[in-house]
């Protein structure tokens, strides 16, 4: 099983601009999220921390934060994953 990483995403819903920072420690990511929220006054900016084994997995589970050309081939992604029964 992969160790979980934590991704801080600062995403502007209107422009699609975003910044993603990877953290190994969830506490550090959350502290940074809180700091970002305090300094943000734009209601169109969404600031989240999401846990995921990898950036590729994050692109599949939270594709709204990525441009279409950044997304993996979903059919290929799912066929290489282990089947869970």
pLDDT tens, residue order, the chain (85 aa)? 568 999 999 999 999 999 999 999 999 999 999 999 999 999 999 999 999 999 999 999 999 999 888 888 877 777 776 544 3
Please count the structural domains in the chain. 1
Tell me, yes or no, whether 49 lies in a domain.
yes
Long-range contacts, stretch 31-36, CB < 8 angstroms, 24+ apart: 32/8, 33/8, 36/8, 36/10
pLDDT of residue 15: 95
* Residue 57: domain span: 5-80
Residues 6, 11: Cα–Cα separation, whole Å: 16
Tell me, yes or no, whether 66 lies in a domain.
yes
pLDDT of residue 81: 64
pLDDT of residue 85: 39
């Amino acid at each position: 099983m992969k160790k979980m990483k934590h991704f801080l995403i600062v995403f502007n819903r209107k422009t699609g601009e975003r910044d993603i920072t990877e953290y190994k420690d969830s506490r550090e990511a959350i502290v940074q999220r809180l700091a970002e929220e305090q300094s943000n006054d734009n209601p169109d900016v969404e600031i989240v921390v999401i846990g995921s084994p990898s950036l590729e997995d994050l692109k599949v589970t939270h594709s709204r934060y990525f441009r279409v050309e950044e997304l993996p081939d979903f059919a290929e992604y799912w066929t290489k994953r282990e089947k869970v029964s």
